[in-house]
Amino acid sequence: MSKLSDERMEVFFPTCNVETVKDGRGGIFTWVPQDVIKEFNLLYFTPGTTRGNHYHPEFIEYFLIVEGSGIAVTLDAPEMKQRIIHVSKGSCLRTPIGVRHTVYAITPLTAVAMLTKPWDDCKTPIIREDIFVK
């Protein structure tokens, strides 16, 4: 598994069996999470909007962009340094427990959020914070 990591949020790059491209039908790209996924959600963003401005105290979140582009913004503790990551179709992010984050859509954006604990099983699934406010 290949990854580029800043202080807290990780960007994962997929592997690809080149034979799935050579056969002329397209290609199969694979991400292998290091954590067990218990729930996944399909999210739609309107351009110029955010989803997030929070952190998760009980689960790790994987976030796969399936269409569109935007930025992921993290607020890394303890120095509360804002970090910007460009995301577009095929970007996959891993956000550990407690990392303050949000996604801002530049274009219409669709993503799949995969969680290591079901949302409804959490006492406190999110804690809101102002990370990126227009």
Place of tokens 């956000």: 95
Q: What is the mean pLDDT of residues 38-54?
A: 96
Residue 13 belongs to a domain: no
Provide the domain limits for residue 53.
35-128
- Residue 75 confidence class, pLDDT cut points 50, 70, 90: confident
Q: Answer with the residue of higher pLDDT: 131 or 117.
A: 117
Q: Is 34 exposed, middle or buried (0-12, 13-18, 19+ CB in 10 A)?
A: exposed
Residue 89 belongs to a domain: yes
Domain CATH for 113: 2.60.120.10
Those residues with Cβ within 8 angstroms of residue 93's Cβ, 6 or more apart along the chain or in another chain: 9, 10, 11, 12, 61, 62, 63, 72, 85, 87
Residue 90 belongs to a domain: yes
Residue 121 belongs to a domain: yes
Q: What's the pLDDT score for residue 85?
A: 95
Residue 8 belongs to a domain: no
Q: What's the pLDDT score for residue 78?
A: 65
The pLDDT tens digits of the residues spanning 56-74 come to 999 999 999 999 999 999 9
Q: What is the mean pLDDT of residues 50-60?
A: 95
The pLDDT tens digits of the residues spanning 15-37 come to 999 999 999 999 999 999 999 99
Residue 58 belongs to a domain: yes
- Residue 130 confidence class, pLDDT cut points 50, 70, 90: confident
The pLDDT tens digits of the residues spanning 92-126 come to 999 999 999 999 999 999 999 999 999 999 999 99
Domain tally for the chain? 1
